[in-house]
Chain A
Amino acid sequence: MSEMRRVTAICNGTVVDHIPAGRAIQVLRMLRLDIGRSNPISLVMNVPSAKLGRKDVLKIEDRELSQEELDRLALIAPAASISIIRNYSVAEKMQADLGEELVNIARCSFWNCITQNSHEPLPHKLRVANVDPLEIRCSYCGRGQDMDEIVENIL
C-alpha cells in the first residue's frame, strides 16, 4: 500500500516528510504542538522509504509552520523535507536549518549545570559543536547532550 493511500492529501497546512522512522512523536513534541487542542494532525510511522529505508510522515492541517519552528526539527530529523500546502498543491518547499546555537529549545541535562537552578533568568543555550556526526553541547557547562536527553528536556 502506498504512503499516499494511508493518509489523504491535505488542503492547506504543512507536510513534514522523511522523518527518521519512529521519531514522529518526538517531532510533535519538538514543535510544541498542543496535540489535545490543535488542528487535525495525521501521523504515519514506519512506512517504506527509498531514501531512509523506513520513515515517518507528519501532516498538520490548516497550519503553516514558521522557519523558526522548523529549525527545531533539524536536531532530530535533519533530512526532513517540509512542504507548505495551499489548496492541495505544494506552495513552498523548506529545509530545517540547525544553525549554531539552540536558544530556549531544550535545557541542559547535566544535573550540576548552573541552568538547573530554575530561578536563573538567562536563556537555556545548546550549541552545535559538530554537524556530522551531530554533537550538541551546553553553551554554559560544555557537557555533551544525547538526542534522547534533548527530547526529554524540551522546554
Chain B
Amino acid sequence: MGDLITMDDLTNKEITNLLDNAERLLPVAKGEIYLPLLEGKVLANMFFENSTRTRMSFESAMKRLGGSVLNFSSAGSSVAKGETLYDTMQMVAGYADVVAIRHPRQGAAQYSADSIGLPVLNAGDGAGNHPTQTLLDLFTIREAHHTLEGLNVVLVGDLRYGRTAHSLSHALVRFGATLTLVSPDSLRMPSEIVSDLTAGGAEVTETADLAGTIADADVIYMTRIQKERFPDEDEYSKVAGVYMLKVSDLAGAKESMIIMHPLPRVNEIHPSVDSTHHARYFQQAFNGVVARMALLCDCLGVKVPKKVK
C-alpha cells in the first residue's frame, strides 16, 4: 500500500490484514510491550485543522513503535503567509518518511499525494473522507461482533458533511452490511455516495426516525452535527441537537448492539449511556492507536511479526 486517501485504496483482504495486524499490536499500544518496529522513521503530522484524537493517536502509534513525529499546525506557519499546499508538501517531503494530513478543504489529501512521493495518509479532508477513522471503526466493530459481514449498521446525524460516515459506509457495504442512514432532510448522505453504496447491491435505507431503527441494529454509529461545516449558521441551528440517545431509548435494543461515536460528542449521547455495555466510543478512541500502528507499518513496508512478544 502507498497512499490511503479513500477506502477504495484498500481491498477487503488488505483491510482484514490491517485489522489482524492491529490486533497483534494491542499489547504494544497499551504500553505492555516495547516493539521498536519503526525506529528511525519520521511521521509528519500535518494538521491544517483542529484535531485531538486523530493527531494524538497517530503520534502515540508512531512513538509506541519507536518512531518519531514532526507536528505541524497551520497557525503561525508559512501557510498563514499564503504558502500553497503544494509548496508545503515539497518541504515536508524532505523532513519525513510518511505524512498524515488533515485539511479543511476537500481533496487536499489526494492533492498532497499527487504532489510528493512519500506515502500520504488522509486524516480527514473537509467533508470528504476519513479512512484511518474507518479502520479503527471497523476494528471496533469486529472486536465486538467477531465479524464485519452481514451486520445491520445505523449511521446517525450529519451524513452530509460527516466524513467519518462517508468512509465507513463505503467500507461496510463491501463487507455486506445493511445500512440505515438516519439524518434530518438537510443533512442526508450526498447522492453520489448513496449511488456508490447501492451500485454494489447494498441494502440502504434512508430515514429521519432514529427510534424506529434501534431494535434491529447491531451497531448504532452516532455523529456530531458539525457547526464548522455549515456555510450558514441559521441552517445549523435548525438541526442542532436533533438526535440524542438516552438510556431509555435502548430498552428494545439487541443485547449485542454497540454504540459508537467518532467523538467529540456534544449532546448526541447522554453521559448516562456511558456506563451501559452498549457504549464503545472510548474503546473506539483507543483503537485508533492500534489501527494507525498497523497502517504506519504497512505503508512504510515494515512487517508486523505474527507473534508480538
Binding site for B on A (CB under 8 A): 108, 110-117, 119-122, 135, 137-144
Q: When the two chains form their complex, are residues A143 and B84 in contact, meaning their CB atoms are under 8 A apart?
A: no
Q: When the two chains form their complex, are residues A117 and B107 in contact, meaning their CB atoms are under 8 A apart?
A: no
17 A–B contacts, CB within 8 A, in A order: A108-B107, A110-B106, A112-B104, A112-B106, A113-B107, A114-B105, A114-B106, A114-B108, A114-B125, A117-B105, A121-B84, A122-B111, A140-B110, A140-B114, A141-B110, A141-B128, A142-B128
**Does B126 reach chain A (CB closer than 8 Å)?**
yes
A114 to B6, CA, bound (A): 16
Q: Which residues of A contact B84 (CB under 8 A)?
A: 117, 119-121
Shortest Cβ gap from B126 to chain A (Å): 5
Shortest Cβ gap from A107 to chain B (Å): 12
**Chain A residue with the shortest CB-CB distance to B113:** A140
Binding site for A on B (CB under 8 A): 6, 82, 84-86, 103-108, 110-111, 114-115, 125-129, 191-192, 231
Q: Which residues of B contact A111 (CB under 8 A)?
A: 231
A137 to B128, CA, bound (A): 13
Among A114, A135, A137, A139: residue with most chain B CB under 10 A: A114
Shortest Cβ gap from B82 to chain A (Å): 7
Q: When the two chains form their complex, are residues A122 and B106 in contact, meaning their CB atoms are under 8 A apart?
A: no
Q: When the two chains form their complex, are residues B126 and A141 in contact, meaning their CB atoms are under 8 A apart?
A: yes
Q: Which residues of A contact B106 (CB under 8 A)?
A: 110, 112-114, 140-143
A119 to B86, CA, bound (A): 9
Q: When the two chains form their complex, are residues A138 and B107 in contact, meaning their CB atoms are under 8 A apart?
A: yes
A121 to B89, CA, bound (A): 12
Partner of A120, one of B104, B111, B129, B192: B111
Inter-chain residue pair count (beta carbon < 8 A): 64
Shortest Cβ gap from A122 to chain B (Å): 6
Q: Which residues of B contact A144 (CB under 8 A)?
A: 191-192
Q: Which residues of A contact B108 (CB under 8 A)?
A: 114, 140
Partner of B86, one of A122, A140, A143: A122
Shortest Cβ gap from A90 to chain B (Å): 41
Among B104, B106, B110: residue with most chain A CB under 10 A: B106
Q: Which residues of A contact B85 (CB under 8 A)?
A: 114, 117, 120
Partner of A114, one of B111, B129, B192: B111
Shortest Cβ gap from A145 to chain B (Å): 10
Q: When the two chains form their complex, are residues A112 and B105 in contact, meaning their CB atoms are under 8 A apart?
A: yes
Q: Which residues of B contact A119 (CB under 8 A)?
A: 82, 84
Among A115, A119, A141: residue with most chain B CB under 10 A: A141
Q: Beyond A114-B103, A140-B114: 19 further Cβ-contacts under 8 Å?
A: A110-B106, A112-B104, A112-B106, A112-B127, A114-B105, A114-B106, A114-B107, A115-B107, A115-B111, A120-B85, A121-B84, A122-B115, A140-B107, A140-B111, A141-B128, A142-B6, A142-B192, A143-B106, A144-B191
Shortest Cβ gap from B191 to chain A (Å): 8
**Chain A residue with the shortest CB-CB distance to B129:** A142
A145 to B67, CA, bound (A): 42
Q: Which residues of A contact B191 (CB under 8 A)?
A: 144
Nearest 5 CB-CB pairings of A with B = A140-B107, A141-B107, A141-B106, A114-B107, A144-B192
Q: When the two chains form their complex, are residues A112 and B126 in contact, meaning their CB atoms are under 8 A apart?
A: yes
Q: Which residues of B contact A122 (CB under 8 A)?
A: 86, 111, 114-115
A128 to B129, CA, bound (A): 20
Q: When the two chains form their complex, are residues A116 and B111 in contact, meaning their CB atoms are under 8 A apart?
A: no
Shortest Cβ gap from A121 to chain B (Å): 5
Among B115, B127, B128: residue with most chain A CB under 10 A: B128
Q: Which residues of A contact B86 (CB under 8 A)?
A: 120-122
Shortest Cβ gap from A102 to chain B (Å): 15
Q: Which residues of B contact A115 (CB under 8 A)?
A: 107, 111
**Chain A residue with the shortest CB-CB distance to B108:** A114
Q: Which residues of B contact A117 (CB under 8 A)?
A: 84-85, 105
A79 to B111, CA, bound (A): 33
**Chain A residue with the shortest CB-CB distance to B104:** A112
Partner of A113, one of B6, B105, B192, B231: B105
Q: Which residues of A contact B111 (CB under 8 A)?
A: 114-115, 120, 122, 140
A84 to B307, CA, bound (A): 68
Q: Which residues of A contact B127 (CB under 8 A)?
A: 112
A119 to B87, CA, bound (A): 10
